[in-house]
């Protein structure tokens, strides 16, 4: 017998909020480290759905020598 896990609307909203928060923090870090973020890079970050990928990019952004090193645009 298989049990299906239904994600509630509230859970979806919490996840969306966490994802948007992670995107905002990553963009803020990129601006602080490298100056204005090009629109192409901003769009790429905003299109990332995976929280894990956003976390990995944040960690990489802390030590990256340039914005190009993150390969976002």
pLDDT tens sequence across 1-29: 556 677 788 988 998 999 999 999 999 99
Structure confidence at residue 9 (pLDDT):
86
Q: Is the pLDDT of residue 63 over 80?
A: yes
Contact 30, 68 (CB under 8 A): no
Q: Is the pLDDT of residue 72 over 80?
A: yes
CA atoms of 14 and 18, how far apart (whole Å): 6
- Tens of pLDDT, residue by residue over 37-46, are 999 999 999 9
Structure confidence at residue 30 (pLDDT):
97
Structure confidence at residue 3 (pLDDT):
60
Contact 26, 58 (CB under 8 A): yes
């Amino acid at each position: 017998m298989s049990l299906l896990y239904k994600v509630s609307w509230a859970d979806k909203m919490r996840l969306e909020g966490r994802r948007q928060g992670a995107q905002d923090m990553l963009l803020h870090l990129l601006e602080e480290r490298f100056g204005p973020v090009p629109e192409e890079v901003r769009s790429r970050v905003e299109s990332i759905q995976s929280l894990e990928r956003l976390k990995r990019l944040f960690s990489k952004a802390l030590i990256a020598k340039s914005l190009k090193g993150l390969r976002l645009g």
